[in-house]
Amino acid sequence: MFVLYLVITLTLFISTCTKLAFTQEEQETNTISIKITSPITGQQIPIGELTISGTSTDNTSTACTVYADWNDQKPFQKAIATGPGGVDDYSTWTFKYTDKYHLITNGTNNLTSKLSCLNNPTNLTKWNSIDVIGEVSLTIPKNNITTGDQRTSFEGQNLTTLGNKTENITDESQTNTSLSNTPTNNNASRTMIPEDNTTTTAIPNNKTGNPIIDFFKGMFGS
| DSSP 8-state secondary structure symbol assigned to residue 62 | S
The answer to the question of residue 219 being in a domain is: no
Distance CA 88, CA 59 (A): 8
Spans of the chain below 70 pLDDT: 1-7, 11-13, 15-30, 142-209, 216-222
Residue at 35 is within a domain: yes
Q: How many domains does the chain have?
A: 1
For residue 200, tell me if it sits in a domain: no
* Of 94, 105, 84, 80, the residue nearest 38 (C-alpha): 94
CA-nearest of 222, 194, 58 to 126 is 58
Nearest to 31 by CA among 143, 101, 150, 115: 115
Question: What pTM, to 2 d.p., does this model score?
Answer: 0.54
Domain of residue 112, residue span: 30-140
**CA-to-CA distance for 61 and 108, rounded, in angstroms?**
37
C-alpha 138/C-alpha 216 separation (Å) is: 111
The answer as to whether 209 is a domain residue is no
pLDDT tens sequence across 10-65: 766 676 555 544 444 444 556 999 999 999 999 999 999 999 999 999 999 999 99
User: Three-state SS for 163?
Assistant: coil
Phi-psi region of 96 (alpha: psi -120 to 50; beta: other; left: phi over 0): beta
- Is 39 part of any domain? yes
CA–CA separation, 39 vs 207, rounded Å? 114
d(CA 104, CA 8): 57
In percent, how much of the chain has pLDDT > 90?
A: 46
Note whether residue 69 is domain-resident: yes
pLDDT for the residue numbered 204: 54
Using CA atoms, how far residue 120 sits from 28, 29, 46, 211, in Å, is 10, 12, 43, 150
**CATH number for position 65:** 2.60.40.650
pLDDT at 16: 59
Instruction: Fill in the amino acid letter for 51.
Output: T
Instruction: Find out whether 129 and 113 touch, Cβ atoms under 8 Å.
Output: yes
179 part of a folded domain: no
In a domain, 131, yes or no: yes
Distance, CA of 212 to CA of 214 (rounded, Å): 5
